[in-house]
Amino acid sequence: MRLHDISKELFSSPVYPGDPVPEKAPFLSIEKGDVCNLTMLSMGSHNGTHLDAPRHFIADGRDVSDILLEKTIGLCKVVEAHGRLTSGQIEEWMSGRTKKLLIKGQIIVTPQAAKTMVQWGLELLGVEGQTVGEEGTQETVHRILLGAEVVILEGLVLEEPEPGSYFLAAQPLKMAGLDGSPIRPVLISTGEAMGKMHNV
């Protein structure tokens, strides 16, 4: 079994323009005579590698504490692409039993590609960029995916894993009312996972 950590270190990660910068400050410090170390955190819900919950763009959508965990855990497919995604690419990737898709490369999810993902029953989409869509379409793409309760993972690090089949664990923190959550997703490469998804 091999584990692939596909997350960014939070405090050194680029921040999406306009988002708050994550900060940390000591609250208790052994160095200053306290019994233990305890740190205060200040950050945005979409800093670093994170998960978008439907509530990010859907006013009454599920928050991160209410996301179905089976959508964030399970067999997934890693593919590689660059540039604007086409419906044909999506259909090819999802022609098997794929429900969770991680895309390696700098890509742009178009509204039509997002609609195709929903039509084919995608449960989770993961990308390396800090957002999906491009200027002028980000809101539309988010609304299409999140409106269908497709979980979105953003800020992934997929340099190491080769395209193929894996087991994914990418649960959000259980925080009621929040629209997003930092995550530390892991891909597990096992013979069993590969065997189960050989037709994907």
Residue type at 150? V
pLDDT at 22: 98
Q: Which residues pair with 39 in a beta bridge?
A: 26
* DSSP secondary structure letter of residue 103: E
DSSP-derived pairing of the beta strands 73-80 and 164-169: antiparallel
**Coil, strand or helix at 83:** strand
H/E element, 127: strand 124-127
Spatial CA neighbour of 94 closest among 118, 59, 73: 118
Stretches where the chain sits below pLDDT 70 are 191-200
**Overall pTM > 0.85:** yes
